[in-house]
Structure 1
Amino acid sequence: MANRERLSPTVFDIPIAKIRRGYYSAVYFSREKRILEKRNHAKMVLMQVFQKKNAILCGTDEAIAVLKLASGEYRDPERAYKLFDRYVEKQREVRKLRIVEKNYNKTELVTREMLNLEIELDRIWEDKSAELGISSLYDGDRITPWETVMTIGGLPQHFAHLESVYLGILARRTLVATNVASVVAVANGKPILFFADRFDHYENQTGDGYAATVGGVSGVATDIMGEWWGKKGMGTIPHALIACFGGDTVEATLAFAREFPEVPCISLVDFQNDCVKTSLEVADRFKAEGLTLYGVRLDTSETMVDESIIRNGQFGQEKPTGVTPTLVENVRRVLDRNGHDNVKIGVSGGFNRAKIELFEDRKVAVDFYGCGSSLLKGEGDFTADIVIMDGKPASKKGRWFRPNPRLERVS
C-alpha cells in the first residue's frame, strides 16, 4: 500500500547546483530552457507524465524534490555559467589535492572556495517552484499503462531542464519496486532480502534500497540502502570470511557469533559444496557451545552439484545444479533429525520470480529468500509530454491530456 506521507526534499542527497545548470540533463532540454528564457515565453503549460506497463510506482517523492529544489532560473545566466564552471573546476582540484597530493591544508582552503561558489550560485538563483502546480500519485501506488502519474503546470522554462532527471528517477525506482513486488507476491509471506548491492553502481544503492522497501522487501544488504527509511543493512558471513578461516565454516560462524552476539547468526554453508554436512557441523557446534544458530543459508553455484545429491544419487527430472528443492529438503531433514528443527533455512543465488514460484508450488522448506540481480532487470521507461498550453490542447500527434482523478495536489 502506498505511503501517503511524502519524504521531505532534505532526505535526498541532490546535487542542486549541477541539476539547476542542466549538468545531468540531455543538452537539448537545457537549450530549450535557454531559448524560452531569452524570448520571455509567457504561456503556461501542463506537462503530463506516464509509462506503459502495470507497475508499482516509485520515485515520486524524489522527483518532486528535484522540482522543488531546481525549478527556476538564474538572474544573470552568463555569470551563473561562469561561476558553475569554476565550481566544477574546484571540485576536481579538491579531489586531486586530497587523493593524489594529500595536501589537506590546501584541500580545506579550496573546499571553502568551492562552497562559496555554490552559495553565490544559490544567491543568484530565482526559485520558481512555488509557481508550479504539481499533482502526483504516491510511491507504492499500483499504476496501469498510459495512466497519468504526475502533472507539472507552469512556465516551461522554469522546469524544462529537469525532464531527464525526474523521468530517470521514476524509471529506476519504479523498475526496482515493481520487480520486488512481483517476487514478494509469490513468496507466500516469506521474507525477501534485497542483495543487489554488487550488481550495479554503488551510487544506485540508496534509491534502490528505498524502492525495494516500497516493493515489499524485509531487509536490505547495506546501510545506505536503508538510509531514507532509517534502517540498517543486514547480513552475516560472506564466502571470503570462510576462506580467511582456511575454509572452516564452523570456526568462521563462531567468530561471527562472538563478535556480533546481538545479530541473529546465519551460517553460509556451501563453501565446501556439502550443505548437509556443513549445516549439521555448525548446528551441532553451536548447540555444544550454548549458542543460538538462527539459520543457515544455501548459495550453491549454478555450476555445482552439492555432495549430498551425489551421495544420495538424487538425479531425477530436476536440474541438479545450484540450490534445488531436493538440496533444501536434504538440509531440512538432517537438521530436524538431529534436534535442530529451530534452525531456519535461507536460499540465494539465481532466485527470481519463476524460481521462487517453483519452490513455493512444491512447498519447499525455505524460510527466507535472498534475491539480487534479478530485481534490477527489465525496463520501465517514463515519458513526459506538454499536453496543454494556455488552456488549449498542445500535444504532439498520438498524445493527449489524460486526466486522472487519483492525482493529488502537492503542497
Structure 2
Amino acid sequence: MIDQPPADDATARAAHLHDGLRRFPPELFQFDARIRTGWLSDRYFVRTASTLRHAGRDPVVTMQVFAKQAGVLAGVYEAVRLFQTQLAEGYDPADLRIRTLLEGDAVNAAGSDAWEPVMHITGCYRGFAHLETPVLGVLARRSLIASNTRIVVDAAAGKPVIFMAPRHDDWRVQTPDGYAAQIGGVQSVSSDAAGAWWGARGVGTMPHAMIAAFGGDTVAATLAFARYLRGEEPGVQLMSLVDYENDSVRTALEVARAIRAEFGDGVLSAVRVDTSERLIDASLIGDPEVWGRARLTGVNSYLVRKMRAALDAEGFHYVGIVASGGFTPSKIRRFEGEGVPVVAYGVGSSLLGHSDPASGLLNDFDFTADLVRVDDRPEGKIGRTFRENPRLVPVDWAQLI
C-alpha cells in the first residue's frame, strides 16, 4: 500500500518521494523501448528536437507541468522513471533537474492558485522534448482514476470500495489503473493485474456466468464455489451473488441456509446484489410499504433493508451485504446518510471517467506543459510564465542508484 504524502514538512516529503521511487524501479513499468526514439510522441516534438539539432542549438530549458482540474495527483513515480530511462541517446539523467509534487498530493485544491505547477523539469531540451507526450498522458490517466476513486472513497465514509473497472477498458491499462485507484484509496481490486504494482490479488464474489454455468442455480453455484475455496484457496472469503433471478431476498436466504447446512455458521461472509437499473427486484413488487411510493429499480435502500431484515431474522447477522451496479458518489452518500446497511461498494466504469458529469465524477483530467525558461531567461507564450510552488520536491538521482 502507498502511504499518503506528508503535507508540509520538506524533509519528510523528500524522504517520502525517494522511498516511493525505490519501491517503484524503472523495470517495474516495462517501458516500451520505442519511447526514447519518439515513436510514441506527438510528431511535432520529435521534429522540434530534430530542428534544434539541425540548427546546432540545444538550449537548457525549464518545462512546467500543471493540471487544469482539482484532484489527486498520480503517476509521479512513472513520470520520473520515464525521464530517468527514456532520454534521447547521449543524454544523462544526472544532468536533468526535476522538482515534483508527490504521488497522492491534492492539486488545485480549494484556496490554492488555479493551474498549480506539479512538476518542473530543467535540462537540455533535445534530451527530453519527446517525453512531453508520454509523461502528460501518464499523469492524466493516473490522476483521473485516482481523483475519481478518492471522490467515491470519501463518499463511502470508511466502508471498503472494490475497484471493478478492468472489464471496462483495454486490458493493457489494468495494472496502472489499479495502481491509480489505490492512490485514490481503494483497498481491493477485481483482477490480479490491477493490484500488481502494489502487491494485491484480485478479489471478487462470483460472476453471473458462474451461476449460468450451474444451470441458473445460485445455491448450487455458491456451494461449488465454497467447496473450491476451502480446497484450493482457503484464505479467500466466501461471497455469493444473489440477483441472478431478480429475487435477491429469497436467493440470499436460500444461499445462506445451504452454506450453513453444509459448513456451519460464519462461512458465508457476504452476499452481493447487482440488480439492473432497469429492473425492480421481485421482493419489492407489490410490497404495500413501498409499492407505488418510491423509485424501486436497481439496488436501492428498500431492497437492502429488506434483505438485511430477512437475513437477521434467521440468524445470519454475520452475512454482510455488498452493493454494486451504478453506484455514483451521490448515491453512495445517500446510502451512507440514510444508514443503509451495506458493508462495501463495488464501483466500475465510472472511475475511468465513463460517467455523466452530473454524477460528481470527472470525465477527464488534463495536464499541460510549457517551456517557461530558456537558457536561464524567462520565456513562454503569453499567459504561461514560471510559477514557483513551495511544495515541489527535488529528485536526488544519487539516492536512486
Structure 2 counterpart of 1:21: 37
SS of 2:372 mapped into structure 1: strand
The letter of the residue matching 2:51 is I
Kept in 1: contact 2:58–2:126 (CA 8 A): no
Q: Taking structure 1 as the reference length, what is the TM-score of the superposition?
A: 0.85
Measured against aligned partners, the alpha-carbon deviations of 1:286-308 in whole angstroms (never above 9, x if no partner) come to 11112410100000011110000
State the superposition RMSD in angstroms: 1.2
Structure 1 counterpart of 2:334: 358
Kept in 2: contact 1:280–1:334 (CA 8 A): yes
Structure 2 counterpart of 1:212: 181
Measured against aligned partners, the alpha-carbon deviations of 1:10-60 in whole angstroms (never above 9, x if no partner) come to 221111x21011111111111111112222323211000001222100001
Point out the structure with the larger helix share. Answer: 1
Q: Give distance in 2, aligned partners of 1:129 and 1:406.
A: 22
Structure 2 counterpart of 1:139: 103
Measured against aligned partners, the alpha-carbon deviations of 1:179-217 in whole angstroms (never above 9, x if no partner) come to 000011111100000000111111111110000000000
Alignment of 1:408 onto 2:372 = no
Q: Give distance in 2, aligned partners of 1:149 and 1:290.
A: 54
Kept in 1: contact 2:166–2:191 (CA 8 A): yes
Q: What is the 5 A alignment of 1:195-210?
A: 195-210=164-179
The letter of the residue matching 1:151 is H
Q: Give distance in 2, aligned partners of 1:348 and 1:168.
A: 30
Alignment of 1:287 onto 2:260 = yes
Structure 2 counterpart of 1:46: 62
Instruction: Go from structure 1 to structure 2 and tell me whether the alpha carbon gap of 1:317 and 1:154 turns closer, same or farther (over 3 Å shift).
Output: farther
Alignment of 1:192 onto 2:161 = yes
Amino-acid identity (%): 47
Q: Give distance in 2, aligned partners of 1:187 and 1:317.
A: 27
Kept in 2: contact 1:72–1:129 (CA 8 A): no
In the alignment, structure 2 segments of 5+ residues that lack a partner are 6-15, 109-113, 354-362, 397-401
Deviation at 1:128, TM superposition (A): 2.4
Kept in 2: contact 1:46–1:153 (CA 8 A): yes
SS of 2:283 mapped into structure 1: helix
Kept in 2: contact 1:137–1:408 (CA 8 A): yes
Alignment of 1:389 onto 2:374 = yes
SS of 1:227 mapped into structure 2: helix
Alignment of 1:66 onto 2:66 = no
Deviation at 1:236, TM superposition (A): 2.6
Deviation at 1:358, TM superposition (A): 1.1
The structure 2 residue matched to 1:11, chosen from 6, 25, 28, is 28
SS of 1:157 mapped into structure 2: helix
Matched residues, number: 358
Q: What is the 5 A alignment of 1:7-406?
A: 7-15=24-32, 17-73=33-89, 126-144=90-108, 145-261=114-230, 262=234, 263-291=236-264, 292-313=267-288, 314-377=290-353, 378-406=363-391
SS of 2:284 mapped into structure 1: helix
Deviation at 1:372, TM superposition (A): 0.4
Q: Give distance in 1, aligned partners of 2:59 and 2:249.
A: 71
Q: Taking structure 2 as the reference length, what is the TM-score of the superposition?
A: 0.87
Kept in 2: contact 1:55–1:143 (CA 8 A): yes
In the alignment, structure 1 segments of 5+ residues that lack a partner are 74-125
Structure 2 counterpart of 1:78: none
SS of 1:65 mapped into structure 2: helix
Kept in 1: contact 2:211–2:217 (CA 8 A): yes
Instruction: Go from structure 1 to structure 2 and tell me whether the alpha carbon gap of 1:161 and 1:380 turns closer, same or farther (over 3 Å shift).
Output: same
Q: Give distance in 2, aligned partners of 1:150 and 1:387.
A: 12
Deviation at 1:63, TM superposition (A): 0.8
Q: Give distance in 2, aligned partners of 1:8 and 1:315.
A: 58
Kept in 2: contact 1:48–1:151 (CA 8 A): yes
Deviation at 1:311, TM superposition (A): 4.2
Q: Give distance in 1, aligned partners of 2:205 and 2:68.
A: 39
Kept in 1: contact 2:191–2:203 (CA 8 A): yes
Kept in 2: contact 1:309–1:320 (CA 8 A): yes
Greater Rg by CA: 1
The letter of the residue matching 2:276 is S
Deviation at 1:397, TM superposition (A): 0.3
Measured against aligned partners, the alpha-carbon deviations of 1:85-122 in whole angstroms (never above 9, x if no partner) come to xxxxxxxxxxxxxxxxxxxxxxxxxxxxxxxxxxxxxx
Bigger Cα displacement from structure 2, 363-372 vs 228-237: 228-237
Kept in 2: contact 1:70–1:127 (CA 8 A): no
Deviation at 1:249, TM superposition (A): 0.4
Q: Give distance in 1, aligned partners of 2:225 and 2:263.
A: 15
Measured against aligned partners, the alpha-carbon deviations of 1:73-94 in whole angstroms (never above 9, x if no partner) come to 3xxxxxxxxxxxxxxxxxxxxx
Deviation at 1:316, TM superposition (A): 4.6
